Amino acid sequence: MNEARHDVAAGAFRWRLQPDFAQQLGPDGVRLQEWLRTGQATVVKQGPHRVVYRVALPQVTFYVKHNLTPDRVTWFRQLIRPSKARREYDSALEVAARGVATAWPLAWAQEHGLLSNGESLLITRSLDNTQPLHLFVYEALPGLSAARQARIRQRLAETLGRFVAQLHDAGIRHNDLHAGNLLLRLNDGDAPELFLIDLNDVHFGAPLTWRQSFDNLVVLNHWFVMQASRADRLRFLRTYLQARPLPAGWTHAERDPLVRWWVRLLEQATWTSLQKQWRRRDRRCLVDNRYFRRLDAPHVTGHAVTDLDGELAANLLTDPDAPFGRSDAAVLKDSATSTVVEFTAPVNGRPTRLVYKRFAVKKSSTPLSSLVRKPPALRSWQQGQGFRERGLPTARPLLVLHRRRHGLFYEGYLLTEKLDHAQHLHDVLDDLVKLPSDVRRRRLRGRIHLVGQAVRDLHHRQLSHRDLKANNILLETAGGDTGGAGQNRSAIPQPGPSLMPQTMHGAWFLDLVGVSVHQRLTWRCRVRDLARLNASFHERPELSRTDRLRFLRTYLQWGLFSKQGWKTWWRAVAQATSAKLARNARLGRKVA
């Protein structure tokens, strides 16, 4: 691609700037450190793999993305292909040339020298009054009136459909197409305008075939299938199809059987693709990367998130039992199987209330079992990260440790964030019975709906929880009369590898040792989980049969979630519950 350019060397970097941008900067060129000292540059995003700065000068405002090389794989990759900044710069020029809105590139730089660190920088012009689409959905949209929300959602679905159709007709395939890589600007009259960003993994060619378009829509639908309603997704697809020339035999009629078949196929392919992606990413918390790091010391090994305070991680690695002797630690549980305490420590630079659990070794054969299966603490760690990847609500795991002797795992330790303003289901029910009957009924129905929806989401993601009991589900206590989500926890994604927020802000799953990932969750497993939860309330007359049926109908989405009718489910859950209670009675175990 022929372009006017201005090349200059500055320190360890060699810069290529657009001529007009070089003229705006003046003879001193890019002076990032000086701008940081004077406050003209601020850090807007930071991670192990890149730092993003916003620079506001009198004559121009722009963003600087500093691509780092946090590991050897990234460093070697820079030796055999152009830098990230160079690729994204060229891609932005090409995207703009093909008529698609994007952030205009102003300059790029790369460290010179064969054995340099391979770092690179990209400068793009600021797009005023824009924000990532997913943050708009999480932050701005919920604060609008219901009527305005509906209007913006509908217009946004149609605008996105036309925008993606334009991409595909222009021969642009973005292999990481999701809401975080789309910037949104609301113009006068709430008219949405979209911009494509993060162009590091973009391919160009002829207009995409329908097979290529289908695969790219599956990638985009990964996020929207869990964050947008069925109506909005259908509105997007109809607009997309209307904006593109259809294959032979297809029409734009709403009830065209080929179009309806294609839409259903896209939804099915999205969930299949998501399941594969989630299972693949479940292993990321066990290796070193930008989000997690391995810990190792004599006789102790484990994993931690990268934003956990380094001093805290080092202290726990040196002595995993130290928190149990802290003067500020509050003991939450102390039994033969586990000990749980609560204390405060810095996480990501902020004092955070934490929960620390020790998994005891009850049998001499337990360490031997770690040779063939992951120990309980490690399973809880991996499933906790897997829940967050899937957008399911749970306490964020921060660290897991194991004492190791002769190659075997012994005591395990798990550190998680504390969930504030939350109660176990039994405690919630105890508080509800103290209220006047009309208030109690209204709030109980809201909480039943919340739990039913959370369990349905769990099973919809092909996960089972064999210990799904009342004490392993927390409900937020700040939910108000509706029993819905409170406002004390943000919907914005927490640090981690996923764009998915915790979709249920008022309910959380705990004690994930008994969680299993399935290729296809069977009806029997679903019934078993529901029966285990139902057995928790067998001595709670406050829950009527009508309340239990309301939970079941919510779980079944009033007939949309299962092919079997609710009566079939009701009988199966009742039979499994009776079997569970009888078994526990024979063994002399109390049902919690």
Looking at the DSSP bridge assignments, the partners of residue 109 are 15, 121
Handedness of CA 19, 22, 27, 29 (dihedral sign): negative
Query: Closest by alpha carbon to 535, among 467, 587, 480?
Result: 467
Question: How many other CB atoms are there within 10 angstroms of residue 162's CB atom?
Answer: 16
pLDDT tens digits, 418-427: 988 889 999 9
Global pTM value = 0.84
Q: How confident is the model at residue 340 (pLDDT cuts 50, 70, 90)?
A: very high
Judge residue 358's burial from the number of C-beta atoms within 10 Å of its C-beta, 0-12 exposed, 13-18 middle, 19 or more buried: buried
Amino acid at site 351: P
Q: Which residues contact 31 (CB under 8 A, 6 or more apart)?
A: none
> Among residues 357, 360, 273, 272, which one has the least CA distance to residue 316?
357
Least confident stretch, 48-52, 55-59, 114-118, 480-484: 480-484
Q: Are 52 and 44 in contact (CB under 8 A)?
A: yes
Is residue 481 over pLDDT 60? no
Query: Confidence class of residue 62 from pLDDT cuts 50, 70 and 90?
Result: very high
284: pLDDT strictly greater than 50: yes
- 488 pLDDT band (50/70/90 cuts)? very low
Position 286 pLDDT exceeds 70: yes
E strands in 175-262: 182-187, 191-196, 202-204
Structure tokens at 348: 């990501």
Residue 77 has pLDDT above 90, yes or no: no
| pLDDT, tens only, 158-207 | 999 999 999 999 999 999 999 989 999 999 899 999 999 999 889 999 99
